[in-house]
Structure formats: structure tokens, C-alpha cells
């Protein structure tokens, strides 16, 4: 899953400024065609019509791409043949190869993995070989500008997609960490609650084992002092001393429990 995310999200559309630049190149080709009207003569309307068809298909694939089956391959094959149809009769009009560079820009938006780069290589070879075969070394020199664009355009899109995928991955990781933090906070609250319950149980046992027994002893000695006061008043003094000692011990134990419960001071 991580690999597919890092490779591409082919549906992620480039920034508007990049799309503006791409369509600027397309408009440049149309304007150059009009400028060469004297060379194209009667075929100029047909050339403009084919260029318009290229732009329509390019836009449709950009906004409603076909990414499954053989259809995207047929689209790129048809657009490539259309550009060659425009270029071969007038190879000196090398600006038609810019249209192939625009197709190269589109490959990372449609394909993933090795298919995108396979089409980039195919388009790059067609850009170079077509003019080289038709015009020789001069054609090779003319093809380099379009070839460079055919490399830079898809590379930019691929890098942008990987940056976007990395940002999504960071957001997913942040969401997971946030959820884990919430779970840890809840667990910590449960642990504090459990600790409080355990502390209460411990105090209850301590009170039962020590203070309650001491208080029971105080009660017995108080009853014994009451009986001695009626029958043996001469022994009441020692009994009261024991009662006072037990009371003092109970008070010390209660102070100890209260000090234990009191929060620590800085």
C-alpha cells in the first residue's frame, strides 16, 4: 500500500499555473501554424481543425482521464499519429513536436509505474527520430528543444505527485499518532482511576486493621473505666491513663493517614 501511494496518485491534477503554462505551449503551436499560413496554403484550415481536435482530446483526457484497460494506450497512440500526420508533410515546421511534449506531460497523470516512463521514452524517440529522419542532423538539432520539454514536463509532474503523496502520508501518520495519543490519554485516565480505587481499598484495610481496632480498644477501656468508677474507684486513675494513651495513638494514626492523602507541596 505504501509503495502504490509513493509511486503515484495519477488523478492528482497539477497546479493551475502549470496547466496555464501547458496550454500556453498549445496556443503557441496554433499561433505558429497561423503564422506559417503562406506555407500551408489551402491545408491551413485542415491543420487548424486537427490541432483543435488534439486540444479537445487533450483536455478531455486531462479532466476526465481513462486509466483502465487499453483505452489510454489508444488515446496516446492516436494523438501521436495525429502529430506525425501534421509534421511529416512539412518537417521544417518542427514546432508540431511541442504537441508530443504535451503528451509526455500527460503520461504521469494517466499511467503509473513503468508505463508512464515507457510512453515518455516512446514520445522522446519519436520527437528525435522523426525530424532526424526527415531533415538529417539539422532535424536532430531542431528536435532537442521539444525533447527537453518532453523530459522536464513529466519529471515535474512525477516529483509533484511524490511530494503530494508524502504530504498525505504525513497527514495519515499524524492522524494515527493523534488517535494513539487519545487512546494513551484514555488509558492513563483509566490507570489513574484504578490507582485511586486501589488506594481507597488500601486505606480501608489500614483503617480496619489499625484505627478501627484502636477505637474498639478505646471503647472497651472507656466501659471498663465506667465500671471501675462504680466498684473500684481507686483503680480508675491507671485505667484513664491507658485510655489516654490509646486515644493519643489513634490520633497519631489518623494524622498519618491524612498526611499520606495530602498532595506534596513544592
The residues spanned by each domain of the chain are: 2-173, 176-261
CB atoms within 10 A of CB 157: 23
Looking at residue 92, its pLDDT comes to: 92
Claim: this prediction has a pTM higher than 0.75: no
Q: What distance in Å separates the CA atoms of residue 219 and residue 214, rounded to the nearest whole number?
A: 9
Looking at residue 5, its pLDDT comes to: 37
Vertex 180 angle, CA 175 and 183, to 5°: 130
- Please give the chain's pLDDT, 266 residues, in tens: 344 333 345 555 677 888 898 999 999 999 999 999 899 989 999 999 999 999 999 999 988 887 788 999 999 999 999 999 999 999 999 999 999 999 999 999 888 888 889 999 999 999 999 999 999 999 999 999 999 999 998 988 888 878 877 888 888 888 888 888 888 877 777 777 777 777 777 766 766 666 667 777 777 767 677 777 676 776 777 767 777 777 777 777 777 767 666 655 54
Looking at residue 204, its pLDDT comes to: 67
Looking at residue 29, its pLDDT comes to: 95
Q: What distance in Å separates the CA atoms of residue 78 and residue 84, rounded to the nearest whole number?
A: 10
44: nearest Cα among 101, 93, 98: 93
Looking at residue 212, its pLDDT comes to: 67
CB atoms within 10 A of CB 163: 10
* DSSP letters spanning 115-176: HHHHHHHHHHHHHHHHHHHHHTHHHHHHHHHHHHHHHHHHHHHHHHHHHHHHHHHHHHHHHH
Q: What distance in Å separates the CA atoms of residue 59 and residue 65, rounded to the nearest whole number?
A: 9
- Residue found by looking up cell 503530494 in the block: 164
Q: What distance in Å separates the CA atoms of residue 201 and residue 205, rounded to the nearest whole number?
A: 6
Looking at residue 85, its pLDDT comes to: 95
Amino acid at each position: 500500500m505504501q509503495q502504490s501511494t509513493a509511486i503515484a496518485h495519477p488523478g492528482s491534477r497539477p497546479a493551475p499555473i502549470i496547466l496555464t503554462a501547458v496550454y500556453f505551449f498549445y496556443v503557441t503551436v496554433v499561433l505558429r501554424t497561423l503564422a506559417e499560413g503562406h506555407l500551408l496554403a489551402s491545408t491551413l484550415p485542415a491543420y487548424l481543425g486537427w490541432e483543435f481536435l488534439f486540444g479537445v482530446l487533450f483536455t478531455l483526457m486531462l479532466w476526465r482521464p481513462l486509466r483502465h484497460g487499453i483505452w489510454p494506450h489508444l488515446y496516446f497512440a492516436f494523438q501521436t499519429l495525429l502529430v506525425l500526420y501534421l509534421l511529416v508533410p512539412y518537417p521544417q515546421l518542427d514546432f508540431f513536436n511541442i504537441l508530443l511534449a504535451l503528451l509526455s506531460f500527460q503520461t504521469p497523470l494517466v499511467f503509473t509505474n513503468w508505463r508512464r516512463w515507457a510512453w515518455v521514452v516512446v514520445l522522446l524517440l519519436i520527437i528525435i527520430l522523426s525530424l532526424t529522419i526527415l531533415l538529417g542532423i539539422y532535424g536532430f538539432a531542431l528536435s532537442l528543444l521539444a525533447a527537453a520539454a518532453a523530459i522536464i514536463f513529466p519529471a515535474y509532474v512525477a516529483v509533484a505527485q511524490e511530494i503530494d503523496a508524502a504530504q498525505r502520508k504525513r497527514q495519515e501518520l499524524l492522524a494515527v499518532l493523534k488517535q494513539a495519543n487519545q487512546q494513551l490519554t484514555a488509558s492513563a485516565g483509566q490507570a489513574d482511576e484504578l490507582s485511586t480505587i486501589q488506594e481507597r481499598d488500601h486505606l480501608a484495610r489500614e483503617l480496619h486493621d489499625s484505627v478501627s481496632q484502636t477505637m474498639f480498644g478505646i471503647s472497651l477501656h472507656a466501659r471498663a473505666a465506667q465500671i471501675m468508677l462504680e466498684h473500684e474507684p481507686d483503680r480508675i486513675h491507671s485505667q484513664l491513663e491507658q485510655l489516654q494513651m490509646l486515644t493519643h495513638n489513634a490520633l497519631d494514626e489518623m494524622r498519618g493517614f491524612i498526611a499520606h492523602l495530602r498532595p506534596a507541596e513544592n
